[in-house]
Amino acid sequence: MDSHSTGFQAGKAKGQAQEKTSQFMDKASHAAQSAMESCQETGQQIKAKAQGAAETVKSKVSANK
């Protein structure tokens, strides 16, 4: 192999590694976004249930007066 071919192969390998890294980072970003959205959704569900429970307690306390 001459130095031109070796340099070309090295450049090609570097480009492939950069592309794989970019793809990995995109997947990681999407996974993090999905996890964040899932946590927000779960938080909203918990909040709604807590508000419902609080309303139930308020109505029962008011009915007992």
Q: 1 falls in which pLDDT band (50, 70, 90)?
A: low
The torsion angle over the Cα atoms of residues 9, 12, 17 and 20, rounded to 10 degrees, is -140
- pTM of the full predicted structure? 0.60
Instruction: List C-alpha distances in Å: 54 to 38, 48, 59, 61.
Output: 24, 10, 9, 10
The per-residue pLDDT for 4 is 82
The per-residue pLDDT for 2 is 75
The per-residue pLDDT for 31 is 97
Q: What is the pLDDT of residues 12-55, one digit of tens each?
A: 999 999 999 999 999 999 999 999 999 999 999 999 999 999 99
The per-residue pLDDT for 23 is 97
